[in-house]
Amino acid sequence: MVSRSLPVSFAHLSDAVWRADALGCAAAATVATGHPALDAQLPGGGWPVGAICEILQAHSGQNEWRLLLPALTRAAAGPVLLVGAPHVPFGPGLAAQGFDARRLLWISTTAPAARLWAAEQALRCTEVVAVLAWLPQVRAEQLRRLQIAAQEHGKLLFVMRPAQAQNESSPAVLRLLASTPPDSDALRVQILKRRGPPLEQPLSLAARPARLAALLATHGGQADATPQGLVVQRGPALHFLPRSGDALDRTAAAA
């Protein structure tokens, strides 16, 4: 008995094949970064939803807000969870860029296992729009768990790691190295990993928005500290409770 195979449409197959010398198409939804030069170099034209984006930098807490805030401001309304943020968010600076600080929830814990657990649980929360996690000691297999949770629940997930982690393997679909040149206020971004050809030259993104720059100049340029007389706006806080087993308790935070 002779079997006959059905004809294959090679034209159709070629549309589904990604060529390594071309920028890939995003497999899922994306959110515009708010930086046109960066969007032009990312598959789908923005941050991938349901996947890990790694932000690597020499000093934690230095560049991630400048890089991520435009997208978080434009994202769907809902809580943005911070896990292990190194500094209290600068409320007036966030407001100057149109972000409502009351959307922020944060977990303060230094234990690596607690940060991982909290980030994974937050990804499973229906109301949470995005998770920003500072995980300097995370391993590849632990990142894979977060990747699965982000994909299953369709969340934006940004993981902040030290610059030296660029030599380690990672399941992240996108890895960026962010820095600020000593002679410029521009944000320098090197794309270490994407679905596409290597980008040999780093990107230079615009400096701080004019409104934020004016605010910082008024208060001595301190973005991470709270100037005297100003109150950092804090939204509700999610605290990790090691004695409660498996609970994230949402409580009101004092100013």
pLDDT, tens digit (0-9, with 9 covering 90-100), for 17-66: 545 555 555 557 899 999 999 999 999 999 999 999 999 998 877 789 98
Mean pLDDT of 146-168: 95
- CATH code of residue 104: 3.40.50.300
**Which 3-state string (H, E, C) describes 223-250?**
CCCCCCCCCCCCCCEEEECCCCCCCEEE
Structural domain harbouring 200:
26-244
pLDDT category at 224 given cuts 50, 70, 90 is very low
pLDDT category at 254 given cuts 50, 70, 90 is very low
Chain mean pLDDT for the chain: 77
* Residue type present at position 18: W
Mean pLDDT of 116-122: 95
Would you say residue 236 lies in a domain? yes
Contact in structure between 169 and 143 (CB atoms under 8 Å): no
Q: What token pair was written down for 2?
A: 């002779």
Would you say residue 252 lies in a domain? no
Mean pLDDT of 194-210: 81
pLDDT, tens digit (0-9, with 9 covering 90-100), for 75-115: 878 899 999 999 888 788 888 888 988 899 989 889 999 99
Percent of the chain topping pLDDT 70: 70
Would you say residue 253 lies in a domain? no
For the chain, how are helix, strand and coil distributed in percent, rounded to 5?
A: 30, 20, 50
Q: What is the pTM of this model?
A: 0.75
C-alpha 8/C-alpha 93 separation (Å) is 57
Would you say residue 20 lies in a domain? no
Percent of the chain topping pLDDT 90: 48
Would you say residue 51 lies in a domain? yes
Helix (H/G/I), strand (E/B), else coil: 30: strand
Q: Which pLDDT score, from 0 to 100, does residue 45 have?
A: 94
Contact in structure between 41 and 23 (CB atoms under 8 Å): yes
Q: Which pLDDT score, from 0 to 100, does residue 91 have?
A: 80
Residue 239 pLDDT > 90? no
Helix (H) or strand (E) holding 72: helix 64-74
Contact in structure between 173 and 148 (CB atoms under 8 Å): no
Would you say residue 9 lies in a domain? no
Looking at per-residue pLDDT, the higher value among 210 and 83 belongs to 83
Kindly report the length of the chain: 255
Looking at per-residue pLDDT, the higher value among 61 and 250 belongs to 61
DSSP for 187-218, please give it: EEEEEEE-SSS---SPEEE--S-HHHHHHHHH
Of 54-68, 134-148, 179-193, 239-253, highest mean pLDDT: 134-148
Residue 253 pLDDT > 60? no
Would you say residue 100 lies in a domain? yes
b/e map 8-23, b = 16+ CB within 10 Å: eeeeeeeeeeeeeeeb
C-alpha 38/C-alpha 47 separation (Å) is 10
In 75-154, alpha helices (H): 91-96, 112-123, 140-153
Contact in structure between 63 and 57 (CB atoms under 8 Å): yes
DSSP state of 26: P
Helix (H) or strand (E) holding 16: helix 10-16
Q: Which pLDDT score, from 0 to 100, does residue 27 have?
A: 57
Would you say residue 106 lies in a domain? yes
Q: If you search the block for the tokens 């079997």, which residue do you land on?
A: 3
pLDDT category at 251 given cuts 50, 70, 90 is very low
Report how many domains make up the chain: 1
C-alpha 191/C-alpha 178 separation (Å) is 9
Contact in structure between 119 and 132 (CB atoms under 8 Å): no
